[in-house]
Amino acid sequence: MSDTIRILGLDPGLRNTGWGMIASTGTQLSYIASGVVTSDGKDDLASRLKSLHDGIWEIVRAYAPDEVSVEETFVNKDAQATLKLGHARAMSLLVPALAGLPVAEYGANQVKKTVVGVGHADKKQVQAMVRILLPKSTPPTADAADALAIAIAHAHQRKARNLAADMARRPATGTAGA
């Protein structure tokens, strides 16, 4: 019986949605693939969202992940940009849900803290740690490297959640009043 879990990380963006596939077996992480799903900035919003939907669907179909992790939206001062990012993020949540896959969400600082050890690490530090943790990885863009970092964070976080769940299920040992 294999305890390998295939994790797809998604870094949503309306123009470029980064993706990264890893396998997690025990404490071992291995690189599978990474890339970017793009939409044409000249197209209307509906067409761009369809491009993202179709691209993410193709990745899910081709790589058959067991679980998906998505970066949460970073809210900035530009409400329009945040709203557009939210639309792209919706595609990153919807496609795996339609495929019946569990989806976890992580904030950018949580991903950075998990992967680098510092919640406010810069992109270069994240990319360097991705290369260390996944030495065979060849992410073509920063978006793809970020998606791999999201998948790595999920692999580590799921182990912690599973350990906590196992501990909660174990009966208490010892004797009272002995």
Q: Which residues are part of the catalytic machinery?
A: 11, 71, 143
Rounded-to-integer distance, Cα 136 and Cα 33, Å:
10
Coil, helix or strand at residue 9 = strand
Nearest CA among 100, 55, 157 for reference residue 149: 157
**CB of 104 closer than 8 Å to CB of 154:** yes
156: enclosing H helix or E strand: helix 142-169
121 burial level (CB within 10 Å; 0-12, 13-18, 19+): buried
Give buried/exposed letters for 82-118 (b at 16+ CB in 10 A, else e). eebbeebbebbbbbbeeeeeebbbbebebbbbbbbee
